[in-house]
Homo-oligomer: A and B are copies of this chain.
Amino acid sequence: MYRKARIKEENTYCDRTPALLIDVDKMEANIRHMAMIADRHHKKLRPHAKTHKMPAVARKQLQAGAAGITVAKVSEAEVMAANGIDDIFIAYPIVTASKIERVLALAGKVNRLIVGIDSLEGAMQLSQTATKANAVIEVRLEIDTGMRRTGVLYEDSLHLASRIHALDHLNLSGIFTFRGAFMNGAPTLDLRSAGIEEGNLMAELAEKMKAQGIPISDVSVGSTPTAEYAAEVNGVTEIRPGTYVFQDQMQARLGVCTLDQCAGTVLATVVSRPSPNYAVIDGGSKTFATDVQPNTEPLQLRGFGHILGAPDAVLERLSEEHGVIRLNGNQPWKIGEQIQIVPNHICSTVNLHNNVYWVDGERIEKVKVLGRGMLE
């Protein structure tokens, strides 16, 4: 188990469980690894900061070679910009007046700000506000490559791109998609095929747009599971993985990383042992995200996280502040003992925590998750 004794003895923060620990060595190795993948294929890397929401992590990603960062919200962009990040892509349709005004204000403060768009209505809102302000907003059109979420349907995208290209005060410079480990309308474990298909769909579409005179220069694709494969595709220019910075049990089960490469773990304390069959820890659904559920296809994750050093123990049930671990009778855990758990989904787990604890050799630093909780 991870340097447990030392953390317990030397740092009072981590006696205050539950606490989310970030292993700095592992985080930095993950950052370097993805930068290397992008570099090998001569692609830009624009990590999605929704995973960490910490400007200090974004700076490490940029120092390792990232061209800029991706965020999901105007508020996240504002936090990043206020902390020195100056190339930001808000990969989300920004369609309401107050947010567009904030985008314009922010664009004046950073080197490059790009905004997602997936509809003519949204594009017209952006165009009108930009025109009034006598500014130009750089936009990328989101393409649905099969996830049925945001993104214009693939078959409608060429037509929409032409319409957007014709609007005043918008600079349509790229297209982007998100699909993750998903293909043919369902989750897949064939990440290579999924990533290559995703890249091909987007590269072909960009060619068609360019043939119509729309100067698409950025073709942005990829997620943590598919980035490595999508990056191989000619015509793709950028990958946008997020989770890779910390990794998690879901990615380990997908085969993207090992459990040992997961940089984020929840430190929890055993608070109750009423029976040899189970133990209760001081972390529940307000500590571990529940958006990636156990026992669902295709991953069949065991429990709400992987318990380090206890392969037979399963974090089986969560209520808000209780985690119930099913035991096979072999765990000698006593009340007060600390255990460490790799969560199923680190992005939504980080989002539950005001602060995380960076563990760097002998040093433990409490770091505020500056971008969390500002929903808009």
Contact B347 A152 (CB under 8 A): no
- Is A173 engaged at the interface, CB distance under 8 Å to the other chain? no
Q: Smallest Cβ distance from A321 to chain B, in angstroms?
A: 4
* Bound complex: CA A373 to CA B96 (Å): 29
- Is A158 engaged at the interface, CB distance under 8 Å to the other chain? no
A324 in complex: contacting residue of B149, B287, B320, CB < 8 Å: B149
Contact B376 A118 (CB under 8 A): no
Contact A93 B272 (CB under 8 A): yes
Question: Beyond A373-B353, A375-B353, is A285–B348 a contact (Cβ under 8 Å)?
Answer: yes
Question: Beyond A148-B278, A320-B347, is A374–B352 a contact (Cβ under 8 Å)?
Answer: no
- Is A330 engaged at the interface, CB distance under 8 Å to the other chain? no
Contact A274 B321 (CB under 8 A): no
Contact B274 A99 (CB under 8 A): no
Residues of chain B contacted by A269 (CB below 8 angstroms): 95-96
Copies of this chain, complex-wide, total 2
Complex interface residues of chain A between 137 and 159 (CB less than 8 A to chain B): 144, 148-153, 156
Q: Which residue of B lies closest to A304 (CB)?
A: B291
- Is A236 engaged at the interface, CB distance under 8 Å to the other chain? no
Contact B151 A274 (CB under 8 A): yes
Q: Which residue of B lies closest to A288 (CB)?
A: B291
Residues of chain B contacted by A26 (CB below 8 angstroms): none
Contact A274 B152 (CB under 8 A): yes
- Is A218 engaged at the interface, CB distance under 8 Å to the other chain? no
29 contacts between A and B (CB under 8 A): A12-B98, A15-B97, A15-B98, A16-B99, A18-B376, A19-B375, A50-B320, A72-B320, A95-B271, A95-B336, A96-B269, A118-B274, A119-B273, A121-B336, A122-B272, A122-B335, A125-B336, A149-B322, A149-B324, A151-B272, A153-B275, A285-B289, A285-B291, A289-B290, A353-B373, A353-B375, A354-B374, A354-B375, A373-B373
What are the 9 A-B residue pairs with the smallest beta carbon separation, nearest first?
A: A16-B376, A354-B373, A285-B291, A150-B272, A121-B335, A72-B321, A290-B291, A15-B98, A93-B271
